[in-house]
Amino acid sequence: MVWKTSSDRFASVLSLILLGLVFSFPFITWSFLWRKAEFLNQQESLDKYGSTYNEIRTNSKAALMYNVLYMLRRLWITGIVILIKKDSYL
């Protein structure tokens, strides 16, 4: 990869950082929910983080994985769509 200007370098580094954040977000969410599983039924946790696990059973750690798997599936599908659009022969 050849960068002609410093703005090319900046854009490339920024895009790699943002890509890393997007792909790490489901794992950060999983880690948070896994560690806080026993406190999720408390009112303070519901007020602060309730949208992360809205309408999901909190008595099972496997049920807490639903949102994480949903995010990973959406990232996977988005990547496939981008790849197909880029390489139309697929």
- Residue range 28-53: average pLDDT? 82
75: which 2 tokens? 């990232």
More confident residue, 30 or 59: 30
* SS3 assignment, position 54: coil
The answer to whether position 41 is within a domain reads yes
2's CB contacts (< 8 A; 6+ apart) are none
The answer to whether position 3 is within a domain reads no
The answer to whether position 39 is within a domain reads yes
Q: Under a CB-based contact definition with an 8 Å cutoff, are residues 12 and 3 in contact?
A: yes
Residue 25 predicted with pLDDT over 80? yes
Residue 17 predicted with pLDDT over 90? yes
The answer to whether position 74 is within a domain reads yes
Domain range spanning residue 77? 25-86
Q: How many Å from the N-terminal Cα to the C-terminal Cα in the chain?
A: 25
Place of tokens 């022969």: 89
pLDDT digits (tens, 9 = 90+) for 54-88: 777 777 777 778 888 888 999 999 888 887 876 66
The answer to whether position 72 is within a domain reads yes
pTM of the model: 0.65
The answer to whether position 50 is within a domain reads yes
Q: Domain count for the chain, please give it.
A: 1
